[in-house]
Chain A
Amino acid sequence: MSELINLSRRQFLQGGAGLTLGYALPGVAMAALPEAGPGKAGAGLAADLHFEPNAFLRIDADNSVTVLSKHLEMGQGTYTGLATLVAEELDADWKTVRVIGAPADARRYNNLFWGPAQGTGGSTAMANSWEQMRKAGAAARAMLVAAAAELWGVPASALSVSEGVVRHAASRRQASFGQLAEAAARQPVPADVKLKDPAQFRLIGKKAPRRDTPEKTDGSAQFTQDVHLPGMLVAVVAHPPRFGGKVRRFDAAAAKAVPGVVEVVQIPQGVAVLAKDTWTAKTGRDALKIEWDESAAFKLGSEEIFARYRELAKKPGLVARQDGDTDAAFKAAALVVSASYDFPFLAHAAMEPMNCVVRLSATGCEVWNGEQLHTGDQYALAGLLKLKPEQVTIHTLYAGGSFGRRACKDSDYVLEAAHIAKAIDGRAPVKLVWLREDDMRAGYYRPLFHHVMQAALDQQGKLTGWRHRLVGQSILIGSPFEKMLVKNGIDQVSVEGASTLPYAIPNLTVDVHTPMDIAVPVLWWRSVGSSHTAYSTETFLDQVAAAMNKDPVALRLELLAQHPRHAGVLKLAADKAGWGKPLNPGKPGERRGRGVAVHESFSSYVAQVAEVTVAKDGAVRVDRVVCAVDCGIAINPDNVRAQLEGGVGFALSALLHGAITLKDGRVEQENFDTYAPIRINEMPRVDVHILPSAQPPSGIGEPGVPPLAPAVANAVAAATGKWLTRLPFKTDELAA
């Protein structure tokens, strides 16, 4: 259990002003670390901050409340959400609240759901911080109140707090947080704090404007790409054309002849060209002549991988879930429905390609990064550079998207940057810049998967049996997360959504093959296993409903009697979408349809109803998506809506266009022409309905993604009678 301590006491005694507060494990050395956070890279470092960042919040004499976020802001509203929790219990004035990224320090800033590791992912930021951040705010409030009570000689119970001001009504005295900060720092930290009754919430559940919006509308928000340090060199790297390739020999003469190229160095990942600016480094990189050693390189194509997986799928795999007697159910079946599905590799393709700044010094290493896996990267860097983890300081900047990519289990691009800095003996700070092509071809994709499904219906037309077999690479085997999430050889994130199928089917088998000889690096991609399992389970169930002559919503509700949260969002979405009422017909030649899907991921429940129009040539347009979500208490409802809107667009990109394909081991895509996210003209209208809830908050960054593709596919099937089982859609199959 962590202990609440007053970190500012020593600082106060030393003359520092202000109140800082946080949790720390007893006995933790409080070494002063340089502060970190957006807007503070390089020359822009604020000189007036002298605080120990072992804290979640700080109040300054100017009334500003600074929240230190242990989690990365990569777009999901995390900074605003964490600050909302603190500010709610603190009764702060929202306008005075700002947020900065906390440094890497697992002892103070660990993700409470991840044990001793700091990091952001799995839609856990709000859920794991829900009590922790509110307690931090409540304790600070109690200390401010105690300070005012002492100052005015009145009982604490006679004081009230709102909008950053403590008041004593009887004597009409008041003081702002800033005025009380010093005195509050002398108060003992309360052993226990009482949190508000949700009925008293004034920020949680209301609209708290995002704290990062102003800097993201005037160009001042600092991303890793924007870091400029004195003397810094930009590195652009030539990477091998196939996974597992290595440099045999290279000729740097032409690269070195480019004016402005400073160094050319070989690193395990390839050859790096360093220059004072990105364009020169890129020009130098493009001039390199490299002979690659591809003797150990991976040379299969996507189609060959699929062919292997189809073979594997003929045999039983490791059983992830077994209910009842599935074989008996199929033996007795009057009708068997079956289908198989192919899902491609997918790149995250965050708008900011991966990048990282590393500066080595005699005493350690400093890193500037949109840091998603603080502890993993800190330890990996310490290992490479032969440092203690605490000698690796990480400044967390805004990330221009991630979708999982910046949480690389192997710290790939972070280590690449450090290798370059090491190769030049730390003579200059290094900014590693991946160009879009480097980013798209670097692997760590959503794994390619093949699924086979069968359903058994008995004489009465009842769904009695379900078989679901999955074939695909494991993300977690061999990673630091293996112990946590691999059970009996089964990677839980390979089968999540399939093994957790909520429907009441008496006889059910889910099994999985995990090929270990596919050397394509794979990683979590927004919603992880659910990015494919929701598609196969929810479209297959619609096929079963069709075979049973049942309405898809009615069948789901029948099978979800034991799962009220699934049923709750399903009913809400169906109701708001006008399920069962006829759709407006399209123009002549157009076919229209409506489809539904419901899926739980990261303990949040989302149902979506999609309305589509299929043109004569098969082109699919999604007109509207109605979403219903149950994510427990919605800390910031407007942000919940934003994440569902974004989740819809992200999932639609994959469904309509997204595939990373290999040919002879080479990635065929390299930029947004061949790997195309949707554009504004393809974005549907999105209506979001939030189910009121008193449950603690669960995640919202990912759960909007899984149901979209199956809802659209079911709508397309309603319009055309065809279920597409290969992603992305080949719409010419839908031509009338």
Chain B
Amino acid sequence: MIQLKINGKAQHVEVAPDTPLLWALRDTLLLTGTKYGCGRALCGACTVHVDGQPMRSCSVPVSALAGRSVTTIEAVAAQRAGRAVQAAWRKLDVPQCGYCQSGQIMSAVALLAQNHKPSDADIDAAMSGNLCRCATYVRIRAAIHEAARNLALGNPTP
């Protein structure tokens, strides 16, 4: 039995301690918004926030998370930057197949939480761990700029 703090709630999961957070989220807690893509920290589909930092949940064992706070796509709208990013994603119709987008959004929110006006180079640096096989990159970039503008205007969900 391992105790985790997920989306603000204490959760007990009965899994082997080496189980990656990803599978505890998906298979045990049925929080399926976080996706599996590679299992090796290569694609970013599984990105969540651990204490506010983006992390690849496929490569973090649950045993390493005692006392730390995990946020998934299901709860990212509780953050101002989360709402702004989701609204920009909707406005620009970013997703195609959509499978990578939870991870993209989690990385984008983490970027905007610490950099209010990211340049294209900042976006490249923060987002290049997230693959999109549908190559929605043009819109991901535009939506991050859009979200940053709306946050600056104090208008997270236009």
Could you list which residues of chain A lie within 8 angstroms of chain B, going by C-beta atoms? 74-77, 209-210, 212-223, 225-226, 228, 234, 259-260, 276-280, 283, 349-353, 398-403, 435-436, 638-639, 642, 645-650, 652-653, 671-673, 677-681, 683, 685-686
Contact = CB atoms under 8 A, between A and B. Distances in A.
A259 to B, nearest CB: 7
Nearest to A436: B38
A219 B20 contact: no
Given A218-B74, A278-B23, A399 B97 contact: yes
Given A218-B86, A401-B133, A683-B137, A642 B36 contact: no
B154 interface: no
Chain A interface secondary structure, helix, strand, loop or mixed?
Answer: loop
Nearest to A208: B93
A671 B99 contact: no
Contacts of A436: 37-40
Interface in B74-113: 74, 77, 86, 89-90, 93-102, 105
Interface string B118-158: 00000110011111111111111100000000000000000
B98 A218 contact: no
A687 to B, nearest CB: 10
A639 B133 CA distance: 17
Given A220-B33, A225-B32, A681-B128, A213 B23 contact: no
A645 B98 contact: no
30 contacts: A75-B96, A75-B98, A210-B93, A218-B74, A219-B33, A222-B32, A223-B35, A226-B32, A260-B16, A277-B19, A277-B23, A278-B26, A351-B133, A352-B35, A400-B98, A401-B99, A436-B38, A639-B93, A642-B96, A645-B136, A645-B138, A650-B133, A672-B40, A673-B42, A679-B127, A680-B123, A680-B124, A680-B130, A683-B138, A683-B141
A278 to B, nearest CB: 5
A480 to B, nearest CB: 25
B15 A279 contact: yes
A352 B99 contact: yes
Contacts of B140: 680
Contacts of A398: 97-98
Interface string B20-32: 1001001110111
B35 A350 contact: no
B43 interface: yes
A212 B15 contact: no
A279 B133 contact: no
B97 A74 contact: yes
List the 5 closest pairs (A to B, CB-CB), nearest first. Answer: A219-B33, A649-B135, A400-B99, A216-B98, A75-B97
Nearest to A260: B16
A225 to B, nearest CB: 7
A646 B105 contact: no
Contact of B95 (A212, A638, A647): A212
A256 to B, nearest CB: 15
Nearest to A398: B98
A283 B133 CA distance: 27
B35 to A, nearest CB: 7
B6 interface: no
A680 B28 CA distance: 32
B70 interface: no
A685 B96 CA distance: 18
B36 A225 contact: yes
Nearest to A399: B97
A679 B135 CA distance: 8
Given A400-B97, A645-B138, A217 B105 contact: yes
Given A277-B15, A672-B38, A680-B130, A219 B73 contact: yes
Interface residues of B, number: 57
A401 B42 contact: no
Given A218-B86, A352-B99, A683 B135 contact: yes
Given A218-B73, A218-B86, A225-B35, 7 more contacts: A212-B98, A217-B95, A226-B32, A352-B35, A648-B135, A649-B135, A686-B138
A349 B129 CA distance: 17
Contacts of A223: 35, 99
A209 B89 CA distance: 11
Contact of A680 (B37, B43, B73, B128): B128
Contact of B38 (A212, A639, A671): A671
B16 A280 contact: yes
A675 B45 CA distance: 16
B130 to A, nearest CB: 7
Nearest to B86: A217
Contacts of A645: 135-139
Nearest to A42: B30
Contacts of B98: 75, 212, 215-216, 221, 398, 400
A671 B40 contact: yes
B20 A351 contact: no
Contacts of A642: 93, 96, 136, 139
B133 A76 contact: no
Interface centre among A234, A652, A678, A679 (most CB of B within 10 A): A679
B45 A351 contact: yes
Given A217-B86, A225-B35, A351 B95 contact: no
Contacts of A279: 15-16, 19-20, 23, 27
Contacts of B94: 213, 217
Nearest to B141: A680
B19 to A, nearest CB: 5
Interface centre among B39, B74, B129 (most CB of A within 10 A): B39
Contact of A218 (B33, B100, B137, B138): B33
B69 to A, nearest CB: 18
A212 B86 CA distance: 13
B96 A646 contact: yes
Interface string B41-54: 01101000000000
Contacts of A218: 33, 73-74, 77, 86
B66 to A, nearest CB: 19
Contacts of A649: 132, 134-135, 137
B127 to A, nearest CB: 5
Contacts of A213: 89-90, 93-95
Given A277-B23, A351-B45, A671-B38, A228 B96 contact: no
